[in-house]
Chain A
C-alpha cells in the first residue's frame, strides 16, 4: 500500500494535524494562564476560545484535506466517502445551531 499517493496523503494529513495540535495547545495554554493572572485582559478568553475552536476544527480540516487530495488523485470512491463524513459534520453543526 506504500504507493506515492498514500505517502503524499499521509504527509499532508500529518502536517494538518501537527499544525492544529501546536496552534490549539499553545492558545489554550496562553489563554488559561492569562485567565488566571489577568482575567480582565481582552486576550484571555479570546485565546482560550480560539484554542478550543481550532482544536475542534482540526479534524474537520483533516477531512476537507482528504476530500481534496482524493479528488486530485481522481479516486472518486474515496472522494465520496470522505465527503459523506464532511456532510455528517455539517449535520452536527446544524443540530448544534438548531
Chain B
C-alpha cells in the first residue's frame, strides 16, 4: 500500500501533466505515457497503474467531449453503436486482467504501445469526403462544418462489422492496459469505415469515456483505484492535455511528433525489458 505524502501527490500531478502534454501532442490520450511512468519511475504495481490511468482516460474524454458536442463533429449514432462493442470489450478485458500476472501484463503493454508508436510513424491522412453537400450520408453517416475549407463535409460509413470488431478489441485493450484505445479505433474508422479523420478522432474520444468506465468500475471494486492517487494524476493529466492541445494547435510540428514517437518506442522497450 502506498501512503499519501505531499511529495508523492506533487510527483503524481507532475507525471500526469507530462503524460497529458505528451499524449495530446501526439493526438493520443495520456494513458500510453502515464502507465509506464507510474510503473517504471514510481514502481507502482501494474494493476494499480492501469486503474489509475483508466480514471484519467474518463476525465480526458469527459472534458474534451463536453467542449466538442454541439458542432456535429462527434458522430453520436455511430458512437452509440460502436460503444456496444467497446464496452463489451472493456468488460471482457477487466475480467481477464485479474487473471494475468503483472509482469505479463507489463509485457503486453510494451508490445501494444510499441505497435501504436510504429503506427504513429505511418499515419495516413486519407480523406473520405463527399463534397456534394446534398449527398445522403445514410443512417449512420455524418455531416459537419470544416473550418479550413469553410465547407460542409459529408461522409457515409462503410463496413460496420469491421468497425464493431475493432471496437471490441480496442475496448479490451483499454481495460487491460489503462489506455483509451483511440490509437486502434481511429485509423480503422478512418481507413476502413470511411469516416474522416477528424470525425473519427472526435467520435473515438467520445466513446473512450464510457469504455474506460467499464474497466474503472471493475478495478475500483478490486481496490486497484486509490482516490487520492487518481485525484493527483487526473488533475495533472487534465492540465497537461490542455497544454498539449494548445501547443499542437499553434505548431504543426512534425519533427516534434517524430521525436515523441521515438520516445514512446523507447518507453515500450523499457516496459518490456523491465517486466519482472
Which positions in A face B, CB cutoff 8 Å? 1-2, 6-7, 9-11, 13-14, 17-18, 20-21, 24-25, 28-29, 31-32, 35-36, 39, 45, 48-49, 51-52, 55-56, 58-60, 62-63, 66, 78, 81-82, 84-85, 88-89, 91-93, 95-97
Is B172 in contact with chain A by the CB < 8 A criterion?
A: no
A96–B9 contact, CB under 8 A?
no
Extra inter-chain contacts (8) besides given A25-B59, A59-B61, A92-B218, CB under 8 Å: A14-B66, A14-B70, A17-B209, A58-B209, A59-B212, A85-B80, A92-B213, A92-B217
A2–B209 contact, CB under 8 A?
no
Residue of A nearest to B225 (CB): A52
- A7–B216 Cα distance when bound, in Å, is 30
- A96–B108 Cα distance when bound, in Å, is 23
Residues of A contacting B274 in the complex (Cβ-Cβ under 8 angstroms): none
Is B88 in contact with chain A by the CB < 8 A criterion?
A: yes
Is B126 in contact with chain A by the CB < 8 A criterion?
A: no
B143–A56 contact, CB under 8 A?
no
A56–B55 contact, CB under 8 A?
yes
A92–B91 contact, CB under 8 A?
yes
- A88–B88 Cα distance when bound, in Å, is 6
A89–B69 contact, CB under 8 A?
no
Is B127 in contact with chain A by the CB < 8 A criterion?
A: no
A29–B235 contact, CB under 8 A?
yes
Q: Which of B37-74 contact A (CB under 8 A)?
A: 55, 58-59, 61-63, 65-66, 69-70, 72, 74
The residue from A2, A35, A58, A81 contacting B72, defined by CB atoms under 8 A apart: A2
Residues 70-84 of chain B, each 1 if its beta carbon lies under 8 Å from chain A, else 0 = 101011110011011
